[in-house]
Every structure is written in structure tokens, then in C-alpha cells.
Amino acid sequence: MMVHARMLVFLGLLSLVAGCASTPPGTVEIKNPTEQAKLYTEMGTAALVRGEYPQAVEDLRKAIMIDEKNPIAHNHLGLAYFALGKKDLAKKEIELAIKHDPEYSDAYINLGNFLVEKKDLEGAKKLYRKALDNLEYKMRHRALTSLAQVELRQGNTLQARQLLHQSINANPEYCLSHFLLGSIYMRENNVRRAAEEYKKSVEKSCAGNPEGHLNLGLSYMRLKEYEKARSSFVFLIEQFPETLQAQKAGDLIKDIP
């Protein structure tokens, strides 16, 4: 089961703001243009994570007007444009982020995701590897999982599995790595291992993944652990009632003994 490139572009959004304080405007004294650009970048990034894309564009453009070589602002502006369907502008901004910071691994991953959408899988893999060239990159799991995603699309299951294990070693709580590994095990009919990975893909901050809950329930059904299957489906239906996954769960729960 594959995750669409549009989703991949946003996988790192929460992590991208790890170093950005959510300081509301008017609460700090702006002493110089550098601080002002930083504040607009923080505000725009916060709006991006909230899904307020027009506001994100406005704030991030202000940051760039003050500091045109701000790679974070360019990268996040690219993500906001992408969310608004302005893909050419998005690509241009992410390329500018790399131009101003050739070691910016997140931007390489985001640019690689554009190539995946255009079906240039080998080009995408080169960019993901470029992200990994930065040995100080703290989110290597993103690049490793993106590489695994492409290997799966190319039918290279063994390479994908190795990359996913590397990703999990780098970050044991990265939801997508567990989800993809669970999908591999399910295709191999190793349902017990699939259930274990799907369970990890919906724990803690990963709970908002309806596809993970659906597949977890399906794996429990195949294991004949019906109460666990029912619990997974009920949670999905209650928490994500408008999703296609919830509709499927509603049909499947009728077949549980």
C-alpha cells in the first residue's frame, strides 16, 4: 500500500517547526530586520501546520521580503504553495531554499517528492540520498522512508525493508516506517508481524492515521482476534466518521463473529 506524494510532502511538517517558537505578534520587541524575518518565519510556519495556507503564504512572503536568502521561509512557502495547488511556485521556492542552503536536507526531500509525483523515481532517489549526505541531519528517517517508498514502487521489497529498518533505528516512533513495514509483512502473509507494525503506526502522535487503524483491524480479523478487530474498527468509526476508511470499517464490523 503506497502513500501518495502529496502526503509525503507534508510528512515532516511537525518536525520542521521544532526550532520555531510559536510567538504571537506583539509579544516581543523587534530589534532588527533579522529578528523580524525570524518572527514572520515562525508565524508563517505555525499557520502552515494549522492548515491556514493563505496566512502562511502572507507571513512567509514577508519574511522573504526582509531576508531573501532565508532558506526555511522559502521551503515552508513552497509547502504552502503546494497545499494551495500552485505547484510551479512551490517547486521554485523549494529550489531557492536549496540554493541558499545546499545542506538543507528537508528541502531535498520535498523536492524529491515533486519528482515522485512526476514519476521520475530515479531523480527522486538521488535527491533523497543527497539529504542523507548531510551527516548532521537529525531527521534521517524521513529520507530513508522516502527512499523505501520509491523502492516499493519499483518492486524492490528487500531494499525497501532494509531502508525501513534503518529508519526505525533512527526514529522508532516514525509512523510511516511502521505502516509501510506492516504492509510488506501483510503481503508476505506474515500477519502477526504486520499487526505489530500497524499497531505501532497508530500509537501516540500517530493515532490520527485512519488507514493504519483500518489495516490493524484487518490484520486482527485475519488472526481471528475478533475483539481487537472490533475495537480498532469502532475507534476508527468514532474518531474519523467522514473517511472512506470508516465506511469500510462499518462494513467489515458486520462480518465479525
The CATH number assigned to the domain holding 93 equals 1.25.40.10
Residue 31: predicted pLDDT: 60
The string of pLDDT tens digits covering residues 90-141 is 999 999 999 999 999 999 999 999 999 899 999 999 999 999 999 999 999 9
**Cell numbers describing residue 201:** 503506526
Q: Is residue 74 part of a domain?
A: yes
Give the count of alpha carbons within 13 A of 140, CB side only: 18
Task: Classify residue 226 as exposed, middle or buried by CB count within 10 Å of its CB (0-12, 13-18, 19+).
Answer: middle
What is the chain's Cα-based Rg? 20
Residue 17: predicted pLDDT: 41
Q: Is residue 22 part of a domain?
A: yes
The string of pLDDT tens digits covering residues 11-34 is 444 344 433 434 444 444 556 888
Number of compact structural domains in the chain: 1
Q: Is residue 14 part of a domain?
A: yes
What residue type is assigned to position 233 of the chain? F
Gap between the Cα atoms of 109 and 136, Å rounded: 15
The string of pLDDT tens digits covering residues 147-190 is 999 999 999 999 999 999 999 999 999 999 999 999 999 999 99
Q: Is residue 88 part of a domain?
A: yes
Q: Is residue 10 part of a domain?
A: yes
Q: Is residue 83 part of a domain?
A: yes
Residue ranges making up the domain that contains 60: 1-101
Q: Is residue 67 part of a domain?
A: yes
What residue type is assigned to position 146 of the chain? S
Q: Is residue 155 part of a domain?
A: no
User: What's the pTM value of the predicted model, to 2 decimals?
Assistant: 0.84
